[in-house]
C-alpha cells in the first residue's frame, strides 16, 4: 500500500457503467498524482492508505469492480512526530 | 487509476485475435506515453481516466480481454481551475 | 519480492472492514516508503522481504484479503558482509 | 499497453517447462529493455504493442502461461509522421 | 519479463509457511535489486529471466505460491556479442 494525501474530488460524467457512482479522489504523493476510488469517505487534506494491484477491486467492494487504486483507511496522525 | 491525455489512435492491423477490433489510443502523461483500450469513445485532446492492472480486463468488457490499460471515463474539466 | 527495512507501525482507526485488525508497518527502501501488512511479526529496524502483486493477498492469509504488499520473512543478516 | 521496438531473440535453453518453446524477444523502449513472449511473429526492428500484468497470460494463449509481457500487435506505422 | 544477474542466495529463517523451503536469490539489474524465487536452480553470476506479476505464482509451481518474481530461465549468452 502507499500513503497519499487527498487533493480533490474528480468528476467524470462520461464513464463506463461498471464504475457506478462511486466517488473518485485525486490523491498525491509528492510529485506523483493518481486517482483512487474512495471506500472510506475522506475529505481533501486527509492522509490515506491506498491499495493497488488486484486487491483494489476487492477493497472497492466487489471482485468485479474496475479499480486499480482504492482508499482503504485514513491515517490517524501523519506525518509522524519525531518526539513521540 | 491515472490521468492521461489522449494523443492519437493507434493502428495495428497485425494483432492477436483476442484484441478484436477495439480502438486503441496512445495516451500521454507528461513524458510517459502508453496505449489504452478505449471503452468510452474519446477523441484526441480529451483528458481521461485509465485503469490498469487486472481491472483493465473487466473494464474493457470481459475478464478474458487482454488489456492492461483501459480508458474508463472522460474528465469533465481538467486541469482544475484554482479559482473554482 | 523486495527488501525493505521496517520503520514504524501505522495506525489507521478509520479503515474498511476487510483490513481487519492486522498490523500495518511503514517500510522503507532508500527514498521509497510503502505500507505493508505484517504477516510475520516484526519490529522497527528489521530487514524484511515483502511480496507484492496479487501474491500479497495469499501471503496475508486469504485470497480475499485486500493487501498489495505483505511482509513474508525477516532476513537473517542484512546487509550482507563482503568478508563472508 | 506499451510500445516497444523488437531488438533480438533471446535464447534460454535451461527454462521451466511451463515456458514451452515459445519465442522470447528482447524489446526496448528507450533505455528500458524487457523480455516479451512473441504471440504474433515479429522480427527485429518492428514496433510492437506489448501487454503486461495478468492480461499477458491470456494474450500468450492460456490463463496458465507464465508471461508478464506479451507482444500482441505490430504497429502499422511508427513513429507517426507529423505531416499525416 | 526482465533480465537480471543473480547476486547471492538470501536466507530468511523466519518466514511464512507458504514460502516453504524454496530458494530465494537476490538478483540485480543495474542499480535495482530484487528477490526472486529460484525455479530453475541457478548460481551467482548467472544471467536469468524473471517473471513478475501474477504469472510469478504459476511459474513457482502453484497458483497459491506467494511469489511476485520467479526465475524461469537461464540465458545462454549474455550480454549478446555484437559480432555475432
Domains of chain D, residue spans? 2-74
Whether C83 has a pLDDT exceeding 80, the answer reads: no
Domain D2-74: homologous superfamily in CATH: EutN/Ccml (2.40.50.220)
Longest dimension (CA), chain A: 48
Taking Cα atoms as reference points, which of B54, B50, B41, B53 lies closest to residue B70? B50
- Whether the link from the prior residue into B79 is cis, omega within 30° of 0, is yes
C-beta atoms of B55 and A33 within 8 A: no
Taking Cα atoms as reference points, which of B66, B59, B41 lies closest to residue B2? B59
Q: Give the span between the Cα atoms of C23 and E48, in whole angstroms.
A: 35
Instruction: Quote ipTM for the complex.
Output: 0.95
Query: Which pLDDT score is estimated for E84?
Result: 47
Whether B83 has a pLDDT exceeding 60, the answer reads: no
Query: Which pLDDT score is estimated for D80?
Result: 87
pLDDT tens, position by position, D20-56: 999 999 999 999 999 999 999 999 999 999 999 999 9
Mean pLDDT value across residues E2-16: 97
Residues forming a β-bridge with C6: C27
pLDDT tens, position by position, C26-41: 999 999 999 999 999 9
Q: Are A1 and C34 in contact (CB under 8 A)?
A: yes
Residue among A12, A33, A34 whose CB faces B74 most closely: A12
pLDDT tens, position by position, B17-63: 999 999 999 999 999 999 999 999 999 999 999 999 999 999 999 99
Output the nine-digit C-alpha cell for E8: 547471492
Mean pLDDT value across residues C69-80: 96
C-beta atoms of A54 and C57 within 8 A: yes
Distance between the two ends of chain B, CA-based, in angstroms?
24
Q: Give the span between the Cα atoms of E84 and D18, in whole angstroms.
A: 29
pLDDT confidence tier of residue B67, bands split at 50, 70 and 90? very high
Query: Which pLDDT score is estimated for E80?
Result: 87
Output the nine-digit C-alpha cell for C34: 510503502
| Residue located via cell numbers 502499422 | D76
pLDDT confidence tier of residue E82, bands split at 50, 70 and 90? low
Query: Which pLDDT score is estimated for A83?
Result: 52
Q: Give the span between the Cα atoms of C28 and C51, in whole angstroms.
A: 14
Query: Which pLDDT score is estimated for C69?
Result: 98
D-chain residues near E54 (CB < 8 A) = 53-54, 57, 68
Determine the length of chain C. 84
C-chain residues near E36 (CB < 8 A) = 1
User: How, if at all, do strands D47-52 and E2-10 pair?
Assistant: unpaired
pLDDT confidence tier of residue D83, bands split at 50, 70 and 90? low
Query: Which pLDDT score is estimated for B27?
Result: 98
Query: Which pLDDT score is estimated for C81?
Result: 78
Whether A17 has a pLDDT exceeding 90, the answer reads: yes
C-beta atoms of A52 and C65 within 8 A: no
| Residue located via cell numbers 507458504 | E18
C-beta atoms of A10 and B49 within 8 A: yes
Where would I find the H helices in C22-69?
A: 55-59
Q: Are B30 and B14 in contact (CB under 8 A)?
A: no
pLDDT confidence tier of residue D5, bands split at 50, 70 and 90? very high
**CB burial of residue A32 (10 Å; 0-12, 13-18, 19+):** exposed
Mean pLDDT value across residues C62-84: 90
Q: Give the span between the Cα atoms of B57 and B70, in whole angstroms.
A: 8
In chain D, the percentage of residues whose pLDDT exceeds 70 is: 96
Q: Are E54 and E37 in contact (CB under 8 A)?
A: no
- Whether the link from the prior residue into C79 is cis, omega within 30° of 0, is yes
Determine the length of chain B. 84
D interface with E, Cβ–Cβ < 8 A, is: 8, 10-16, 18-19, 24, 26, 33-36, 52-54, 56-57, 64-69
A interface with C, Cβ–Cβ < 8 A, is: 1-3, 39-40, 49, 51-56, 58-59, 70, 72-77, 80
Output the nine-digit C-alpha cell for D66: 507464465
Mean pLDDT value across residues E17-38: 96
Whether E8 has a pLDDT exceeding 50, the answer reads: yes
**CB burial of residue B10 (10 Å; 0-12, 13-18, 19+):** buried
Mean pLDDT value across residues A6-12: 97
Residue among C3, C59, C77 whose CB faces E66 most closely: C59
Amino acid at each position: 500500500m502507499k500513503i497519499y494525501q487527498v487533493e480533490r474530488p474528480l468528476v467524470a460524467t462520461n464513464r463506463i457503467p461498471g464504475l457506478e457512482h462511486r466517488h473518485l479522489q485525486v490523491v498525491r504523493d509528492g510529485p506523483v498524482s493518481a486517482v483512487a476510488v474512495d471506500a472510506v469517505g475522506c475529505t481533501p487534506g486527509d492522509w490515506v492508505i491506498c491499495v493497488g494491484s488486484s486487491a483494489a477491486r476487492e477493497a472497492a467492494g466487489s471482485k468485479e469492480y474496475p479499480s486499480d487504486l482504492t482508499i482503504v483507511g485514513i491515517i490517524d496522525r501523519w506525518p509522524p512526530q519525531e518526539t513521540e
